[in-house]
Amino acid sequence: MPPIFFILENQEKHICERIRQGDQQAFESVFKTYYKYLCAYANQLLTDRDLSEEIVQDLFFQLWQKRNTFDIQTSLKSYLFRATHNSCLNYFKHLKVRDSYTQHVLNEKQRIEDSYEEMGNLSELQAAITNAVDKLPPERKKVFMMIRYEERKYKEVAEILGISVKTVENQMGKAMQFLREALKDFLPEFIILTNILLQVFSNKQ
């Protein structure tokens, strides 16, 4: 029996047409034939097996979702491997953008803190923050302290306190809203700082 790749290459036009028409059996045939090879290829680029499988699964999901416009100009095998390669590159680009944004947030936070320290107002701000935090309801304060000072993630806090992640998210949102209101008399830079902190907290989910 000829290798399965050879069979698909000779029948791929017919198989692609069947996929365009919504033939699940044809789609499953392509999936079963190429899935493990595409995962192995993605893993060579990402060195993360779980992530590689996730990317390849998403590739096939998108292929099926857009099956009505599925049209390839090269061989099916070449198309799938190139698409996998591009998906991996897009993942790296996403990481670069995310890391760049995170660094920007940290730099901006440090800049604002430095500006307050230069003006001799940092201790006053810290005292105001401490005073405002002490006024939070006990459970809300506990959530805020665990995330802000212990640097725990939302999911971890939820597990420790025996509550849902959504509840942690709501408590943190209300805490930040209260702090912004309590500290509204300070300079605009502090408002910027609280907004930056809120962005940092949202990334902990």
Max avg pLDDT among 11-25, 130-144, 174-188: 130-144
Q: Could you give the count of Cα atoms lying within 13 Å of 144 in the half-sphere of its Cβ?
A: 23
Q: Report if pTM > 0.85.
A: no
Each residue's pLDDT tens digit, 161-180? 999 989 998 998 898 888 77
Each residue's pLDDT tens digit, 97-115? 666 655 655 666 666 556 5
DSSP-derived secondary structure for 69-122: G---SS-HHHHHHHHHHHHHHHHHHHHHHHHHHHHHHHHHHHHHHHHHHHHT-H
CATH of 4-93, one of 1.10.1740.10, 3.20.20.80, 3.40.50.450, 3.20.20.20: 1.10.1740.10
Residue 139 has pLDDT above 50, yes or no: yes
Q: Kindly report the CATH number that applies to the domain delimited by 120-202.
A: 1.10.10.10
Fold agreement (4-93, 120-202): no
Q: Is the separation of the CB atoms in 27 and 67 below 8 Å?
A: yes
Residue listed under structure tokens 């949102």: 173
Whole-angstrom distance, CA of residue 87 vs CA of residue 200: 27
